[in-house]
């Protein structure tokens, strides 16, 4: 979960996955992917995947922690790594994997009125999910659940 310093404000960086991908095509997500054999740990994997997908260099990211692990309905187990990204980063979108890179103000994501609970049908079963809408982009499912985990942690520490 890349958090970017923009002056006195913070934003959260997202990608929109390429429409032709086998899983989660066209969905909004955080940069990320599988831990490879050459990765020392989840942080190394997150930095590598962030660079591969967005071009943001590991030197421009300061990891600072983890959110709760998350099992997706599509069978992935996610270890969300949080990190501060220097505001002057240069992005170089990997177009085979990513259609768009964008940022959303953290203040918007923290506002209770912007977090919605929705019911969806997943393989014949009703599920409740979280969702945000930002400038025509839908942030939902696992990505929104990770944001909700961040919100809950921030509220507990306040």
> Domains in the chain, start-ordered, CATH in brackets?
2-157 (3.90.79.10)
Indicate if the pLDDT at residue 98 is higher than 80. yes
Q: How confident is the model at residue 26 (pLDDT cuts 50, 70, 90)?
A: low
In whole numbers, what is the pLDDT of the chain averaged over residues?
A: 90
What local confidence, expressed as pLDDT, does residue 21 receive? Answer: 62
The total of other beta-carbon atoms located within 10 Å of residue 141's CB is 22
Stated as kind and residue range, the H or E segment containing 151 is helix 141-157
- In Å, how far from its chain's centre is CA 16? 10
Give the single-character DSSP code of 5: E
Q: How confident is the model at residue 23 (pLDDT cuts 50, 70, 90)?
A: low
Q: Over range 18-27, report the average pLDDT.
A: 63
Q: Over range 23-30, report the average pLDDT.
A: 74
Alpha-helical regions (H) of 23-140:
42-54, 106-110
Q: How confident is the model at residue 42 (pLDDT cuts 50, 70, 90)?
A: very high
Residues 6+ apart with CB under 8 A from 123: none
User: In percent, how much of the chain has pLDDT > 70?
Assistant: 95
Q: Over range 116-121, report the average pLDDT.
A: 90
Residues 6+ apart with CB under 8 A from 10: 3, 4, 105, 106, 107
What dihedral angle (degrees, nearest 10) is formed by the CA atoms of 61, 58, 50, 52?
160
Distance, in Å, from the CA atom of 81 to the CA atom of 33, rounded to the nearest integer, reads 11
What local confidence, expressed as pLDDT, does residue 120 receive? Answer: 84
Q: How confident is the model at residue 135 (pLDDT cuts 50, 70, 90)?
A: very high
- Nearest of 52, 60, 44, 42 to residue 2 by alpha carbon: 60
């Amino acid at each position: 979960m890349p958090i970017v310093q923009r002056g006195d404000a913070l934003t959260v960086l997202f990608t929109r996955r390429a429409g032709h991908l086998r899983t989660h095509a066209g969905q909004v997500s955080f940069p990320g992917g599988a831990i490879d054999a050459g990765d020392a740990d989840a942080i190394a994997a997150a930095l590598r995947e962030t660079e591969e997908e967005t071009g943001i260099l590991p030197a421009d990211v300061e990891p600072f922690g983890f959110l709760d692990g998350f099992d997706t309905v599509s069978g992935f187990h996610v270890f969300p790594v949080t990190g501060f990204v220097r505001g002057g980063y240069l992005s170089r979108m990997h177009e085979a994997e990513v259609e768009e890179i964008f940022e959303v103000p953290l203040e918007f994501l923290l506002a209770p009125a912007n977090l919605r609970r929705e019911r969806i049908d997943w393989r014949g079963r009703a599920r409740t999910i979280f969702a945000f809408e930002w400038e025509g982009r839908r942030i939902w499912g696992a990505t929104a659940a990770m944001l909700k985990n961040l919100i809950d942690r921030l509220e507990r520490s306040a």
